[in-house]
Amino acid sequence: MADPGAAVAVITGTVNTAQMPIQFSNLALAGDFAAVNGTSVANCAGQVTTSGVTIKYSLESPAVGPIPAGTLYNVGSFDTSTNPSFAGPCVGGGTVAGTLGNGTLYGLTGGSFVSLGVVALADLSVQYNVTGSLTGSGHNAGETIAAVTAVPGGCTGSPGNLNCALVAGVAAVT
């Protein structure tokens, strides 16, 4: 960790494109969360689970023949009315919990999520608290950039369902 108050994570989960807004589910972030509170620093390296992460598309590729709408490209923003959040235990004790929202890009363009085919880039704001850690506790807020890919039809619970895709990627918080 270069700076206290920074975080990096690996993202895994599924996405359902059969409904609008798009619903991400079973998302897990496994990585480092660090928080600064005065001189005390807490690091969490563990897996957290997200909830309420949905995307509203403001622009999507049109349907062409057998190609469904939104297959080629999309632009959207995170639906904050669903209260996107994450929480989980810290390795060595304590917990981390936080909220996700639209980042700086949303304020400038009205969009914070862009996808081209199965590759997507997202810009979010993030706020989280680390509590009960063996090394202290604290709060952090910052900007998150996440890059993910999706494999349509790869969901374990519904193999072959092209509306359900496995998601994998990385995120960095500054």
- What does the pLDDT look like over 55-93, one tens digit per residue? 888 998 998 988 878 888 989 999 999 999 999 888 777
Tokens of 85: 């959040």
3-state secondary structure of 97: strand
What is the pLDDT at residue 132? 75
Q: List, for the chain, all residue ranges whose pLDDT scores fall below the cut of 50.
A: 1-4
pLDDT of residue 113: 92
Looking at residue 136, what is its pLDDT?
62
Res 41: pLDDT = 60
So what's the pLDDT on residue 91?
Answer: 75
Q: Which amino acid is at 58?
A: S
Nearest-angstrom CA–CA distance, 170 and 167 = 10
Please tell me the distance from the alpha carbon of residue 67 to that of residue 47, in angstroms, as a whole number: 36
Q: What is the model's pLDDT at position 172? A: 80
Q: Which whole-number Å values give the CA distances from 146 to 14, 31, 66, 169, in the listed order?
A: 15, 13, 30, 7
